[in-house]
Amino acid sequence: MGCFTFIKVMMILFNLAIFLSGGTLLGVGIWVAVDDQSFVDIFGGLSSTVVQVVYVGYFLIVIGAILLVIGFLGCYGAQKDSKCLLMMFFSVVLIIFIAEIAAAVVALVYTGLAETLLSAVVTPLLKEKYGTDDSFTHVWNATMKEIKCCGLNNYTDFTNSTWYEHHKVYPDACCDFKQPCNDMLAAKTNVTGCFHQILTEIKTNAGVVGGVAAGIAALEVAAMVVSMYLYCHLDQK
């Protein structure tokens, strides 16, 4: 088996695994999004916590769809010796790689700007939907409980909100679940906002996060190098 053939076979197998993984994630994501209670009943309390904290189903659908596209382009392109599909594969992975680099730079350099933009979007939603939209309220309650935070910035995000106007108190998480959670107790408890708490968690686990990010980046670079190698050597086959 020559070098070209070996690399081609590895490219096919690697992307087949990606394709199958993407299909699995997409299927699970659709299941969770459509019938999350059955998912919770089967996998227990841990899955219940995860589903409550974020819209796991929709996240898995997006990730699964991306992996399906990447896996199909890489696997079918290598198997059919298609320069067009290999170039599309290279382009998609390159776009994702650039987007990840850009996101990392923004996260590191423009954290303050990100907080400002999030505040401009999320705070009005908290004031309007918290307490009136059941799913929105449920997700935020679970997030604040699990991460031990209050609002995006702090308890003042709920000031003059629909919830506060109706109940005259802040969410229990804003007072470390002490009641009644009024202005004085919320200010005294001084529970950290979820944005800052998440940043703290990321910094605490920076080594793990960095290692995972570096591993993903290395795989992406390797995939681009291999796809370009196959692309350039197809005419010489």
Domain residue limits, the chain: 3-111+205-236, 130-198
Q: Which of 41-50, 74-83, 103-112, 150-159 has the highest mean pLDDT?
A: 150-159
Task: Please report the pLDDT score of residue 54 as a whole number.
Answer: 46
Q: What is the pLDDT averaged over residues 135-161? A: 89
Q: Is the pTM of this model over 0.75?
A: no
pLDDT of 157 above 60? yes
- Preceding amide of 180 cis, omega within 30: yes
pLDDT of 52 above 70? no
pLDDT of 131 above 70? yes
pLDDT of 168 above 70? yes
Q: What is the pLDDT averaged over residues 102-119? A: 72
Task: Please report the pLDDT score of residue 42 as a whole number.
Answer: 52
Q: What is the pLDDT averaged over residues 72-91? A: 88
Distances (CA, A) of 10 to 4, 79, 152, 196: 10, 11, 46, 43
pLDDT of 51 above 50? no
